[in-house]
């Protein structure tokens, strides 16, 4: 798994890099960003992966997420993959909420998506292996995961399916139940098929109802988010964790919207929260 370095920049007492490689999971070139804080020779640092939302790439959080100072302070490596496969031969859709930029972190089973849209396998399996092989300071035994919107959905479902692999999980304005929102219905019908029973492994609330558990969870959601009522439905996650007796901190942040102004405001708190759990 050979990486090609696209760029590196010195920032906040660390190195911000962007890399590409040919992915076995998606069958396409994939791009991701990695911030590595300065560290003592031989030190091993925990890893926090951030999953972006609809229409985004690695660049959105890298340029607007304001994570580097907090990661340098707490000694956490920050990994930002793309949301979906890219390329001229990759199938796409006219809608912003399906196709390129909208992979939903699933392993698609329906044509023409099944060959390339395998972001679940990419994030769960290929990317951690790639990071471990190419960044010797990365301790992939101490991984956390977070994300925004569609990426929040990805972070929650990936962590719920893989509790030993991801020791901490948080989310910003996540899609908590694709079974119960238009974005999810469109994406999962297209990628997985019409059988809603097969969707449950991609729905955080359904996974919790079916017995999946996390040791802890942090979610921030803005009250002025224009997607809250129809798409995000944070109350469903509140109800699911309460019914399961699962520890979770779900904060409704007054006046905040769905943008990176919101994400960047609470990013440092999320990184500190992950660092505390990954270093325990």
Active site residues: 149, 225, 258
Q: Residues 146, 150, 153, 155: is their CA dihedral positive or negative?
A: negative
Cβ atoms of 276 and 245 within 8 Å: the answer is no
What gap in Å lies between CA 235 and CA 233, rounded to an integer? Answer: 5
H helix count then E strand count, the chain:
9, 9
Write down the residue that tokens 């798994």 correspond to: 1
What gap in Å lies between CA 213 and CA 55, rounded to an integer? Answer: 30
What gap in Å lies between CA 110 and CA 188, rounded to an integer? Answer: 10
First to last CA, the chain: 31
What gap in Å lies between CA 146 and CA 172, rounded to an integer? Answer: 8
């Amino acid at each position: 798994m050979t990486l090609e370095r696209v760029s590196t920049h010195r920032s906040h007492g660390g190195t911000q890099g962007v890399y590409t490689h040919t992915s076995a999971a998606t069958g396409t070139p994939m791009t991701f960003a990695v911030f590595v804080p300065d560290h003592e020779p031989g030190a091993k640092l925990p890893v926090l992966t951030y999953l972006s939302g609809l229409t985004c790439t690695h660049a959105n959080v890298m340029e607007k997420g304001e994570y580097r100072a907090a990661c340098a302070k707490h000694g956490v490596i920050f990994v930002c993959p793309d949301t979906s496969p890219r390329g001229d031969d990759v199938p796409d859709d006219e809608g912003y909420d399906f196709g390129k930029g909208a992979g939903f972190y699933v392993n698609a089973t329906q044509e023409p998506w099944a060959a390339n849209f395998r972001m679940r396998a990419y994030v769960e399996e290929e990317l951690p292996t790639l990071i471990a092989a190419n960044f010797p300071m990365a301790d992939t035994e101490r991984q956390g995961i977070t994300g925004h919107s569609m990426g929040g959905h990805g972070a929650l479902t990936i962590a719920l399916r893989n509790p030993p692999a991801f020791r901490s999980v948080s989310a910003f304005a996540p899609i908590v139940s694709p079974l119960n929102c238009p974005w999810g219905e469109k994406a999962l019908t297209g990628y997985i098929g019409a059988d809603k029973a097969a969707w449950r492994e991609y729905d955080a609330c359904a996974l919790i109802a079916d017995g999946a558990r996390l040791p802890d969870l942090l979610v921030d959601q803005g009250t002025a988010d224009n997607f809250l009522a129809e798409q995000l439905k944070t109350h469903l996650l509140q109800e699911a964790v309460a019914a399961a007796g699962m520890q979770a901190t779900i904060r409704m942040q007054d006046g905040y919207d769905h943008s990176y102004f919101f994400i960047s405001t609470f990013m440092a708190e999320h990184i500190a929260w992950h660092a505390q759990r990954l270093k325990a």
